[in-house]
Amino acid sequence: MTSQRTRSRLVQRLKDQGITDQQVLDVMANTPRHIFIDEALSHRAYEDTALPIGFNQTISQPYIVAKMTELLLAEGDLERVLEVGTGSGYQTTVLAQLVEKVFSVERIKPLQDKARQRFSLLKLHNISLRHCDGGMGWPDKGPFDGIIVTAAPEEVPPELLAQLAIGGRLVIPVGGSRHQLLKLVIRHSETEYETTVLEGVKFVPLLTGTVR
């Protein structure tokens, strides 16, 4: 169930759905998604679906992880990337294999703790984690070449726009009640941002405050 063949089948599905970035496909083929999911559900790890990870949260669907990563990387390699919503750490792990350094924030401490153990198991050493309300981003570590948000706010948080480097890319689901639009925002200059609306998506909401 966790074999290379099962993973290859998932990657074929991602290609069929329009993912073309070979780097992203290779990383998805080599990332063990089953270790990000509780054992009781791990037999479903290579299905192209979101799955519960506790605390009313979900590990993102592989297609959406691939899509958001591809959008982020479309203009070339990135150095510093901020992720809002570490969750299981699966998206973080995919990113960490494709960019220099990942900064990831999570508001639920027990999820962050589990993700940290997984990064150490996978020997990923280019990830920094912070327990905080990530709607504010991580100002001390910015500006970022890329920002990826894996929970949906009603509007794009201005703090995240401010922490985007010039030329930087923000990929974010926006909208209420578990149905949103995926948006790509590119910062062209100090004051100029270009927004492209991509497709309908379904994320858990971006919430305020933290859980210990």
Q: Measured from the CB atom, is 154 or 167 closer to ligand SAH? A: 154
Query: Would you call 206 exposed, middle or buried from its count of C-beta atoms within 10 A (0-12, 13-18, 19+)?
Result: buried
**105 bridge partner residues:** 84, 130
Instruction: For 43-109, give the DSSP string.
Output: GGTTSSS-EEEETTEEEPPHHHHHHHHHHHHTTS--SEEEEE--TTSHHHHHHHTTSSEEEEEESBH
Binds ligand SAH (CB under 6 A): choice among 11, 66, 82, 135:
135
Q: What backbone torsions phi and psi does residue 179 show, to the nearest 5 degrees?
A: -135, 120
Residue 60 makes contact with ligand SAH by CB under 6 A: yes
Residue 111 makes contact with ligand SAH by CB under 6 A: yes
User: Minimal distance in Å, beta carbon 40 to ligand SAH?
Assistant: 17
User: Minimal distance in Å, beta carbon 55 to ligand SAH?
Assistant: 7
> b/e for 119-141, b at 16 or more Cβ within 10 A?
beebebeebebebbebbbbbeee
Separation CA 3–CA 45 (nearest Å): 11
Q: Measured from the CB atom, is 11 or 149 closer to ligand SAH? A: 149
Active site residues: 60
Binds ligand SAH (CB under 6 A): choice among 105, 129, 171, 201:
105
Residue 33 makes contact with ligand SAH by CB under 6 A: no
Binds ligand SAH (CB under 6 A): choice among 28, 72, 87, 180:
87
Binds ligand SAH (CB under 6 A): choice among 31, 69, 91, 180:
91
Residue 51 makes contact with ligand SAH by CB under 6 A: no
Binds ligand SAH (CB under 6 A): choice among 108, 172, 185, 201:
108
Positions that interact with ligand SAH (CB under 6 A): 57-60, 84-85, 87-88, 90-91, 105-108, 111, 133-135, 150-151, 204, 206-207
